[in-house]
Amino acid sequence: MDIKELFAELSARNIQLRADGEQLRIQAPRGAMTARLRDTLTTHKPALLAWLGEREAESRALSEVIPNPKDRHLPFPLTDIQQAYWIGRNESFELGQVGMHEYVEIESRTLDTDRLNRSWQRLIERHEMLRAVVLPTGEQQIPEQIPSYTIEVADLRGLPPGEAAARMNEIRERLSHQVFRADEWPLFEIRAVRLDDRVRLYVSLDGLMFDWTSWQTMLREWIQLYKDPGASLPPLEISFRDYLLAEKTIAETE
């Protein structure tokens, strides 16, 4: 019996096998399991259980992502969707020159911009992908050193309402459809304006380096660090680079 050929046939019929102790569990659509296949599975049950056990052990070993901080600043591949976003902003395409972009405006009567800036800087230090760039080779990289980031604050207090509105509209027009250069850090820009009775915050982020779940995670942590500057967040032991390279290793196996 050639196990690979057998599993190819089972896969084509959408039949799944799994080992459950000394039992061989079978999940098959109605009519998919023929008498011949059933006899084959019964006859070769010990060999199939052994083979499935080996694959499960290999899978457990492969699924362990091993941290490699020594190489964290070396280039590594983009994911498929990152590559699509990166290529899609190219002006060579008819519908290009559009970034994968997140833009929000937030207003508060009590916002402390200095405190907000310090909490954002802590996020940059914590999350490597907030420091990432995409090289012209189509690889991404976490630079070893970047400058500190400062949220620019425009003081519009005391200006006539029309002039203040015009200044704020200029910021919105520039940031709301921003296309960042992927090879230059940072791939985000945060601005604030101080008005007589409130502060308005403008947040422009490039979606090359995070997805919606990532943004929600960062936003929760940003709020936590703003409220409690001394908060200790759990360490991040593996990097996105570690994860992607581990995933690539798994994809190259049977």
Please name which of 144, 142, 146, 120 lies closest in space to residue 132, comparing C-alpha atoms.
142
pLDDT averaged over every residue in the chain = 91
Lowest-confidence pick of 33-42, 127-136, 189-198 = 33-42
Look at 192 and 54; give whichever has higher pLDDT.
192
User: pLDDT at residue 156 above 80?
Assistant: yes
* Percentage of the residues of the chain whose pLDDT score is greater than 90: 67
pLDDT band for position 1 (50/70/90)? low
In the sheet with 139-141, reading across from the earlier edge strand, the strands are 76-77, 139-141, 133-134
The C-alpha atoms of residue 238 and residue 241 are separated, in whole angstroms, by 8
What is the Cα–Cα distance from 107 to 161, expressed in whole angstroms?
16
- Amino acid, single-letter form, for residue 22: E
Q: Is 56 helix (H, G, I), strand (E, B) or coil?
A: helix
Three-state DSSP at 35 gives helix
30: left (phi over 0), alpha (psi -120 to 50) or beta: beta
Strands (E), the chain: 16-20, 23-27, 76-77, 101-108, 133-134, 139-141, 152-155, 188-194, 199-206
In which band, very low, low, confident or very high, does the pLDDT at 7 lie, cut at 50, 70 and 90? confident
Q: Given phi > 0 = left and psi -120 to 50 = alpha, else beta, which region is 17?
A: beta
pLDDT tens across 45-97, in order?
Answer: 988 888 888 877 777 766 678 899 999 999 999 999 999 999 888 777 776 67
Q: Tens digit of pLDDT for each residue in 100-152?
A: 899 999 999 999 999 999 999 999 999 999 999 999 999 999 999 999 999 99
Name beta bridge partners: 153: 192
Give residue 2's pLDDT band: very low, low, confident or very high (50, 70, 90): confident
